[in-house]
Amino acid sequence: MNPPAAVLIGALAGALVVGSVLFVERVLKLDDPVGAVSVHGTCGAWVVLALGLFADGTYGDKWNSVAGTVRGLFYGDASQLLAQVIDVAVNIIFVFCLTWVIFKIIDAIIGMRVTAEVEQQGLDPFEMGSHAYPDFAMARTQRVESINAQSQ
- pLDDT tens for 76-87 read 989 999 999 999
Cα separation, 27 vs 1, whole angstroms: 34
Residue stretches of the chain with pLDDT short of 50: none
pTM above 0.75, yes or no: no
What is the three-class DSSP state of 119? helix
CA dist 130 → 23, 36, 96, 148 (Å): 33, 26, 35, 26
pLDDT of residue 4: 95
Percentage of residues of the chain with pLDDT beyond 70 = 90
Helices (H), the chain: 3-22, 36, 43-54, 78-109, 116-121, 123-128, 134-151
Contact 53, 81 (CB under 8 A): yes
Cα separation, 56 vs 21, whole angstroms: 31
pLDDT of residue 142: 63
- List of long-range contacts for 129-137, beta carbons under 8 Å, 24+ apart: none
pLDDT of residue 23: 96
